[in-house]
Structure 1
Amino acid sequence: MIFRQLFDSVSSTYTYLLASRHGGEALIIDPVLERVDRYLKLIEELDLKLVKAVDTHLHADHITGLGALRDHTKCITVMGEQSGVDVVSMRVADGDRLSIEGLSLGVIYTPGHTDDSYCFTLADRVFTGDTLLIRGTGRTDFQNGSSRAQYESIFNRLLKLPDETLVYPAHDYKGDNVSTIAEERAHNPRLQVKSVEEYEVLMAGLKLANPKMMDVAVPANMRQGLHQEEVARRGWAVDAATATTLLGRADTIMIDLREGAERERHGCIPGALHAAYPHLAENIGPGGMLHELAQATGKRLLFFCAFGERSAMAVQAAQDAGLTGAVHIEGGMGAWKKAGGPLA
C-alpha cells in the first residue's frame, strides 16, 4: 500500500493519499485547494490515477480541493449523506464501504464537530477528520455541532476500536502527526471526563474565536458541484421527467454509472446497464463495451449516476471519444425519484 501524509502549514491540515499498487488507483482525504498542484505532481510521480477525493466534513478553516481535483482528474468527489454541499458525486452513510482497487475503507458517521462529520477506517488506522485530534477534539460550537453528539461519536464509536489503531486526524497545531486509540484514551485531556454532561461543560468553556477563513471557506465549500448547465447547453442532457419517457425505448440504452453499494441502497432504473464510472475510459474507448454497443446498434447512450456529476463528466468523455449521441440525466437518480421514475 502507498500511504502519504501531506501537510498544509497555513491551515494546519493533514491530507492523506492512499493507493494500491496493482493498477495505481488512488484516494485522497481532506485535500486543500492551495495544495492541489502538489497533490497532482505527487500522483504523477507515483504513477497513480486519482479515483476518489473525500472530505471528512464541511471545512471552515480552508477551501477544499475536491472541486479542483475533480476538474483536473475527473475523479469522484465523496462526502457524507448529511452534507449540505450542493453536489458531490457520491454520498456515503454509516456502515458503507469506500473502495478503490485493493483498498476498502469503513465509513463511520461521527457527528459532533459538525453534523456531517465522518471517520474512515482502514486495517490498522482511522482517519478521524476533526472529530478526534491528537490530545484534543474538534470544537462543537458552530455548523450544527453538538458536544453530546461528539461524546457519543468518540466514546461509543472511535474508542471502541482496537487500542493499537493508529489515529490520523485532519489537523494538528503542535507538530504531532499520529497517535493511537490507547494513547488518546489515556492522555487526551478532553477525554478524561466521567460523563457526557461533564464533557458538555468542558466544551462550552473553551470560548474559541471563529476560524479566520470561516466566512470565506464555508460558502466556497458549499458550492463544489460541477456546473451541469454547460452540458445541458450543449444539448447533452435530458431532464428526469423526459428521461422517464425514454425508459424501454428501443433506440436508447440507459447506463448506470454508480457503484454496487449505491445501487443496492437507492435502487435501480429497470433495464439499465451497469457500467461503473471508474471503468468509463475503457468502456467508451475503441473495443470497449459501450463503444462497441453504440457502434453496433446505433442506439443512444443515456448515462446517469446519483446526482448527475459523474454522468456529466461521462457525457463529455463519450463525446470526445466520438459517441456523439451520448446524453445524461440531469440531476441523476435524485431527480429521477422526484420525477416519479420507477425503481427496481
Structure 2
Amino acid sequence: MIFRQLFDAASSTYTYLIASRRGGEALIIDPVLEKVDRYLLLARELDLRLVKAVDTHLHADHITGSAALRDRTHCITVMGEQTQADVVAMRVAEGDRIEIEGVSLDVLYTPGHTDDSYSFVMGDRVFTGDTLLIRGTGRTDFQNGDARAQYDSIFNKLLKLPGETFVYPAHDYKGDTVSTIDEERRYNPRLQVGSPEEYVELMSSLKLANPKMMDVAVPANMHIGLRQDEIARKGWAVSATDALVLRSRSDTAFVDLREKSERDRHGSIPGSLHMPYTDLQENLADGGLLHELAETTGKNILFYCAFGERSAMAVEAAQNAGIKATRHVEGGIDAWKKAQGPVAR
C-alpha cells in the first residue's frame, strides 16, 4: 500500500494520499488548494491516477483543493450528503463505502464539529477529520456545530472502534502525526467526562476566536461545483425535462456513470446502461463499449450521474475522443427526480 501523510503549515492541515500500489488508482483526503501542485507531482512520481478527492467536512480554515484537483485530473469529488457545497460529484452517507482499486473506506457520519462531518475507516486506521483530534476535539460553536452530537459521534462511534485503530485527524497544532483510539480514550483531556452534559459544558467554555480564514474559506468551499453552463453553451447538455422526452426514443441510449452502490441506494433511469465513470477512458477508446455503441448502433448517447458533474466531464471527454453524438443530463438523476422522471429500484 502507498500511504502518504502531507502537511500544510499555514492551516495545520493533514492531507492523506492513498493507493493500493504504484501505477494504480489513488484517492486523497482533505486536500488544500495551495498544495495541489505538490499532490500532483507526488502522484506523477508514484505513477498514480487520482480518481477521488474526499473532504471530511466543509472546512473553515482553508480552501479545499478538491475542485482544483477535479479540474486538473477529472477526478470525482466526494463529501457527505449533508454538505452545503453547491455541487459534489458523489455524496455519501453512513454505511456507504468509498472505493478505488484495492482500497475501501467505510463511511461514518460523525457530526458535531459541523453538521456535515464524516470519518472514514480503512482497516487498521480511521480518518477523523475535525471530529476527534490528537488530545483534543474539534470546536462545536459554528457551522451548525453541536457538542452533544459530537459527544455521541466520539463516544458511541469512534471510541467503539478497536483500541489499536490508528487515528489520523485533519489537523494538529502541536506536531503530533498519529494516535490510537485507546490512547485518546485514556489521555485526551476532553474525553475525561462522565456524561454528555459535562462534555457540552466543557465545549461551551472554550471561547475560541474564529479561524483566520473563515470568512474566505467557508464561502469558497460552498461554491466548488463544476461550471456545467460551459458544457451547455457548447450544446452538449439537455434538461431533465427534455431527457424525459428522449427516453421514449429508440435512437437514444442513457448511460449511468455512477457506481453500483449509488444505483442501489438512489435508483436509476429505467433502461439505462451502467458504465461507471472511473472506466470512462477505457470505454471511450477503440474497442471500448461506448466507442462500439456509438459506431455500431448509431445511437445518441445521453450520460447522467448524481448531480451532473461526472456526466459533464464525460461528455467533454467523449467529444474530444471524436464521439460527437453525446450529451448529458444537467443536474443528473437529482434533477430527473425533481422533474418527476421514473426511477427503477
Q: Which residue of 2 aligns with 1:199?
A: 199
Q: Distance in 1 between matches of 2:334 and 2:22?
A: 34
Structure 1 residue 20: deviation in Å?
1.2
**What secondary structure sits across from 2:28 in the alignment?**
strand
Structure 1 residue 297: deviation in Å?
1.0
**What secondary structure sits across from 2:72 in the alignment?**
helix
TM-score normalised to structure 2 length: 0.99
Q: Which residue of 1 aligns with 2:290?
A: 290
Q: Which residue of 1 aligns with 2:161?
A: 161
Q: Distance in 2 between matches of 1:28 and 1:7?
A: 13
Asked if structure 2 preserves the Cα contact closer than 8 Å seen for 1:23 and 1:101, the reply is no
One-letter code aligned to 1:318: A
One-letter code aligned to 2:248: G
Q: Which residue of 1 aligns with 2:248?
A: 248
Q: Which residue of 2 aligns with 1:314?
A: 314
One-letter code aligned to 1:131: T
Asked if structure 2 preserves the Cα contact closer than 8 Å seen for 1:257 and 1:303, the reply is yes
Matches within 5 A, 1:46-57: 46-57=46-57
Q: Distance in 2 between matches of 1:171 and 1:149?
A: 20
Asked if structure 1 preserves the Cα contact closer than 8 Å seen for 2:22 and 2:46, the reply is no
- Which runs of 5 or more structure 2 residues have no equivalent in the other structure? none
Q: Which residue of 2 aligns with 1:67?
A: 67
Q: Which residue of 2 aligns with 1:31?
A: 31
- Single out whichever of 18-27 and 192-201 deviates more from structure 2: 18-27
Q: Which residue of 2 aligns with 1:152?
A: 152
One-letter code aligned to 2:58: L
Q: Which residue of 1 aligns with 2:115?
A: 115
Structure 1 residue 214: deviation in Å?
0.1
Q: Aligned residues: percent identity?
A: 74
Asked if structure 2 preserves the Cα contact closer than 8 Å seen for 1:22 and 1:102, the reply is no
Q: Which residue of 2 aligns with 1:94?
A: 94
The answer to whether structure 1 residue 76 and structure 2 residue 76 are counterparts is yes
Matches within 5 A, 1:221-232: 221-232=221-232
The answer to whether structure 1 residue 272 and structure 2 residue 272 are counterparts is yes
Asked if structure 1 preserves the Cα contact closer than 8 Å seen for 2:22 and 2:48, the reply is no
One-letter code aligned to 1:320: N
Q: Distance in 2 between matches of 1:293 and 1:62?
A: 44
TM-score normalised to structure 1 length: 0.99
1:116-156 CA-to-partner distances (Å, cap 9, x unmatched) read 00000000000000000000000000000000000000000
Structure 1 residue 248: deviation in Å?
3.4
- Which runs of 5 or more structure 1 residues have no equivalent in the other structure? none
**What secondary structure sits across from 2:208 in the alignment?**
coil
Cα RMSD over matched residues? 0.6
1:30-77 CA-to-partner distances (Å, cap 9, x unmatched) read 000000000000000000000000000000000000000000000000
Q: Distance in 2 between matches of 1:239 and 1:247?
A: 12
Asked if structure 2 preserves the Cα contact closer than 8 Å seen for 1:303 and 1:327, the reply is yes
Q: Distance in 2 between matches of 1:67 and 1:248?
A: 35
**What secondary structure sits across from 1:91 in the alignment?**
strand
Matches within 5 A, 1:14-25: 14-21=14-21, 24-25=24-25
Asked if structure 2 preserves the Cα contact closer than 8 Å seen for 1:86 and 1:225, the reply is yes
One-letter code aligned to 1:338: K
